[in-house]
Structure 1
Amino acid sequence: MYRFLLTPRWWGINVFVLLAIPFCIFMGSWQLSRFEDRVQDHRDATEQAAAGRTEAARPLAELLPVDKATSGKRATVTGRYGEQLLVPDRELDGRTGSYVLTLLRTGSGKALPVVRGWLPGAADPAKAPAPPAGEVTVTGALQASETPGDNGVSAASGLPSGQTAAISTASLVNLVPYRMYDAWITLDNGDSGMKTVPASAPSGSGLDLKAFQNLGYTGEWFVFAGFVVFMWFRLLRREAEFVQDAELGLVPDEEKVPSPSGV
């Protein structure tokens, strides 16, 4: 009854199935590994952020450039405060407000953006406390420059003078007359009674949409593998029934050769 499995058409079907199933399993396993990697990155970033709050602060120069290993580490730097900007539409504790961002001019000739704290409500420069005068030494969590449009960072343009949508070197160089570090810090303790802005995990280390897309693709590839097996058994059963009916004389002569579709 199953001699039809040796025909060229079924050789082609069998080869396709034998190649498709391992391919689907491989792709599903790869997507699952990508999801597991993102979960591990998220766990590592969470642990690093917790450890960073208790580690001794290190000089800024030792932690640059900012990467996944140094993001969230406590840095210390000395300088004098200069230009001050507000970063509007930032949420903290479920409320919308603004970061108070002040440029710290260091002895290297570069300026480091320092988030001194968060204020609730609409961005109003009159409500932002003035920075301390004279030379100061600040300590806070090191962060990479933000990318407008990523991780909820606003890409708005045309903001009023004294405001910036993102804490980004590329944006700030157009607003202040300083050379900039490609990094920023958020103070351990909010300055002048402002709320402290917590450090965020580095980009690409969270359980974001991409992570769950990987998980979804995992399920799709395994479903494809199951569908291939299901269709192979379905075609096999239909052809076996056709051959059996033909041997019993239940199929007209003109239908004794199955069509390529197996119908």
Structure 2
Amino acid sequence: MYRFLLTPRWWWINVFVVLAIPFCLFMGSWQLGRFESRVDSHRDQQTQADEARAATAQPLRDLLPVSTETSGRQATATGRYDTGHQLLVPDRDLDDRTGFYVLTLLRTDGGKALPVVRGWLPGDAGSTADTAKVPAPPSGQVTVTGALQASESSTSKGVRASGGLPQGQLGVISAATLVNLVPYGVYDAWITVTKSTGGLTAVPPAAAPNSGLDLKAFQNLGYTGEWFVFAGFVVFMWFRLFRREAETARDIALGITPEQPLGPDGARQKRSPAGAA
């Protein structure tokens, strides 16, 4: 009855099933591993963030380049604020309120400038009344302490395209954007000060890129389920085809062919032997 399994058609079906099921299980396990890695990374990042808040601040040069290990660490830098290039970063939310960051470039003794987010203010960066509340940066040489952050990208939370923004506003906090606005080099990093003054609210540091439970993490979890469903679907379809083929083979063995009409009871009528009355 099951000789149909040896036909070329079923050889190809069986080969496909034998290859598809392990592949789906492998991909599902891989996606699950990616999700678990992001969970572990998120847990490690939380631990590092707690340690960073309690750790002693270190010189900026000792923490560069920014990595998942140094992101959020307390860094210190000494220099003078460039009051001529103070920028506002619009549409940044804090405590469910919309406002803007106040960013000032610190010209360090090494020659490069360090973007410093001195704090956050509620309101609209394009409103004269709101921007009038921005305090002037300290004059003279200062030592700034804050949480080290990696340069933002177009996919970072809260960023917007810098094109079309009014003069004095910045959409993305990154060296690639700032070098087009100032006549000197800029560190590929920035810091958010630990304590703000002049009515500004300190901006809490963000998690390192690709270390939190973001949308990508839950996409990995969703893909895990999809691959396991695909594996189950392959098994289901194989058994369905096998059952249909087995029933057809059984009917043929009983002398019933698909072309025969159904009887009153819904069963196919047996073909009468040739020459029967």
TM-score by length of 2: 0.87
Query: Which residue does 2:269 correspond to in 1?
Result: none
Cα displacement string for residues 85-142 of structure 1 (whole angstroms, at most 9, x for unaligned residues)? 1111111001011111111111101111111111111124422101111111111100
Q: How does 1:37-186 map to 2 (within 5 A)?
A: 37-82=37-82, 83-123=85-125, 124-186=130-192
Query: Which residue does 1:258 correspond to in 2?
Result: none
User: Among residues 223, 228, 231, which one is paired with 2:229 in the alignment?
Assistant: 223
Which deviates further from its counterpart, 169-178 or 180-189? 169-178
Q: 4+ residue stretches of structure 1 with deviation over 3 A? A: none
Shift of 1:8: 2.4
Label 1:251 to 1:156 Cα distance change in 2 as closer, same or farther (>3 A): same
Contact 1:81–1:104 (Cα < 8 Å) also in 2 = yes
Q: How does 1:224-263 map to 2 (within 5 A)?
A: 224-251=230-257
Shift of 1:163: 1.4
Query: Which residue does 1:257 correspond to in 2?
Result: none
CA RMSD, 1 decimal: 1.6
Separation in 2 of the partners of 1:108 and 1:251? 90
Label 1:149 to 1:2 Cα distance change in 2 as closer, same or farther (>3 A): closer
Label 1:195 to 1:252 Cα distance change in 2 as closer, same or farther (>3 A): closer
Partner of 1:180, secondary structure, is coil
Amino acid at match of 2:115: P
Separation in 1 of the partners of 2:100 and 2:15? 62
Contact 2:151–2:173 (Cα < 8 Å) also in 1 = yes
Which deviates further from its counterpart, 192-201 or 8-17? 8-17
Q: How does 1:199-210 map to 2 (within 5 A)?
A: 199-210=205-216
Structure 1 residue 196 corresponds to structure 2 residue 202:
yes
Shift of 1:156: 3.7
Partner of 2:86, secondary structure, is strand
Shift of 1:253: 8.4
How many residues matched?
Answer: 254
Label 1:241 to 1:112 Cα distance change in 2 as closer, same or farther (>3 A): same
Separation in 2 of the partners of 1:217 and 1:144? 29
Separation in 2 of the partners of 1:33 and 1:102? 42
Identity %: 70
User: Any gaps of 5 or more consecutive residues in structure 2?
Assistant: 261-277
Separation in 1 of the partners of 2:34 and 2:77? 38
Label 1:249 to 1:164 Cα distance change in 2 as closer, same or farther (>3 A): same
Query: Which residue does 1:9 correspond to in 2?
Result: 9
TM-score by length of 1: 0.91
Greater Rg by CA: 2
